[in-house]
Amino acid sequence: MKVLITDNINPGCGEILSKNGYKITEKAKLSKDELKSIISEYDILIVRSATKVTSDIIDMAANMKLIGRAGAGVDNIDIEAATRKGIIVMNTPGGNTVSAAEHACGMILASARNIPQAHGEMKQGIWDKKKWMGVELEGKTLSIIGVGKIGREVAKRMQAFGMRTIGYDPMLPDEFATKLDIELLTLSENFKQADFITVHSSLNESTKNLICKETIDLMKPDVRIINCARGGIINEYDMAQAVKDGKMASAAMDVFAEEPINENNPLSELQNVIMTPHIAASTVEAQIKVAKQIAEQIVEWNKSKQLIGAVNASAIELAQAPEVKSFLTLAEKLGQMVAQVVDTKPKHLTVWVSGDFLRKYSEVITAAALKGFLDIAHQGDINYINATAMANEMGVDVELRYEKENLDYTNLIRVELENGKTKRMIGGAVFAAKEIRVVMVDQFLCEFKPEGNILIYNNEDKPGVLARVGMILLRNELNIANVALSRDESKKEALTVISVDDDLDQKILKDIDQVDGVFDAHLIKLSS
């Protein structure tokens, strides 16, 4: 595979990949146009934070299979565009944890004791002890917004200074936070109680401008804020005004909404704001770690398909569990089948999973069903990563539903497709770990193997219908491999499923559809 490495990544990355047979090209400081002109030549792109991998670049990446980020943040990569194209985005979330945490702790100390400002005046020959009165950390409350790996490391270190640690993280269980000696509170309570606030969350729609005039108004008048996470989480104009007005004692910033910052950045002129140029992860140790880590993750992915650090491929990670393989095959088959029994453009697809075992794998089962559906309904390269995005592009809403148990089957998968007027459902189960069976079609219970050429139709529940269909198959020298029959409780309507050894053409299907008592006949073609 051909790999393009940008952004002056430590040589250890290329060395590991080269030893494993990858063809490496290293080109730092590429312009956007330069990157667009060569990106189609490569299978893998590895970047740090400087290269912006935008949607128009991804559109040009005809052969791209994976984008690797040597670091934790991936906001410089258009993950949605990559996902839509089936490209794995992979980062190294733990490689620079210690470096980033230590920098944040350093910024907390610097903010508390005005170290950079006092240093600057000393260099100018100014000795002014009274001007730079600081505050102790002991007994103060530190709020950690985003209690991930870096946030936890900051908490551990600042607890050693005697700080009370509170935090906000909607994904962290209370009992786990308790073990870390972090009190989880609402976001507003964090803002109200904190003497120091350190940000360690990712940048997304919910965190953009999280700290702004409205939230600053909730804070103590002498609050100090540290951001070593992502620019854009803090509204820099509102922060600057708060410092000018004396609402905020000081701030320490390593990341900014626009990098490099421009000369009009409102924080630049403020003496009470400490600024560093996005260097929290810039230690020798961290850069060696993330460079080697991303290379090792890529090698492992290519060898065993194991996805370590994949940010947009959780479905693929789940799919690697041996115990779910047969259910994924079943889900794909169900998706293929339901796509072939609906004549008009579908509007809504629902995947139902029943049973505690399948609940764990519901995300990847949905991806598998969508892949099967799209393999029939959509021309293009469909995989577990891009299936949902592709379905949405086609105007199909996708829904996952879970029920604790089904009275007839311990673990059941049902795929339901509707277009507003018509609704079709096909469900299946796995027996003896590997035996895949369809067990229901709409309201009918019936059992058959989902493979080969399958004729499926509804019919009036009366004598002679099956015989007349059989005669058509006989005239066309089509051998019947299996027949499954079912009827509804009223005994007025029935379902017939016939597996045949050879292809049925549309003329034969039309003849069958015109048999007295037959309606809604479909041919389903599946691989064995």
Q: Which residues are catalytic?
A: 230, 259, 278
Helices and strands, counts by H and E, the chain: 19, 22
CA 284/CA 53 separation, integer angstroms: 25
215 contacts 191 by C-beta, under 8 angstroms: yes
CA 251/CA 264 separation, integer angstroms: 18
Query: Which structure tokens are listed for 380?
Result: 């293009």
CA 431/CA 48 separation, integer angstroms: 48
User: 278-285, long-range: CB within 8 Å, 24+ apart, which pairs?
Assistant: 278/49, 278/254, 279/103, 279/254, 280/96, 280/99, 280/100, 280/103, 280/104, 280/228, 280/254, 280/255, 281/71, 281/72, 281/96, 281/99, 281/100, 281/103, 282/99, 283/96, 283/99, 283/102, 285/98, 285/99
CA 440/CA 446 separation, integer angstroms: 5
Q: Identify the residue whose tokens are 């490099």.
A: 260
- Main-chain phi, psi angles of 353, to 5 degrees: -120, 135
Per-state percent for the chain, helix, strand, coil, to nearest 5:
35, 25, 40
3-state secondary structure 78-102: CHHHHHHCCCEEEECCCCCHHHHHH
CA 333/CA 525 separation, integer angstroms: 10
For the chain, state the CA radius of gyration.
30
- Main-chain phi, psi angles of 73, to 5 degrees: -70, 140
- Main-chain phi, psi angles of 341, to 5 degrees: -115, 5
In 3D space, the residue among 150, 42, 92, 24 whose CA is nearest the CA of residue 291 turns out to be 92
Helix (H, G, I), strand (E, B) or coil at 67: strand
Q: Where are the alpha helices (DSSP H) in 269-324?
A: 284-304, 314-319
CA 83/CA 367 separation, integer angstroms: 13
**Residue 490 Cα distances to 77, 444, 460, 463, 493, angstroms:** 58, 12, 11, 16, 8
Return all residues near 217 (Cβ < 8 A) that are at least 6 apart: 247
Q: For residues 193, 239, 283 and 104, what is the CA-based torsion angle, rounded to 10 degrees?
A: -10
Q: Where are the beta strands (DSSP E) in 407-479?
A: 412-418, 423-431, 435-441, 444-448, 452-460
Answer positive or negative: Cα dihedral of 378, 381, 384, 387: negative
Q: For residue 339, what is the enclosing H or E element?
A: helix 325-339
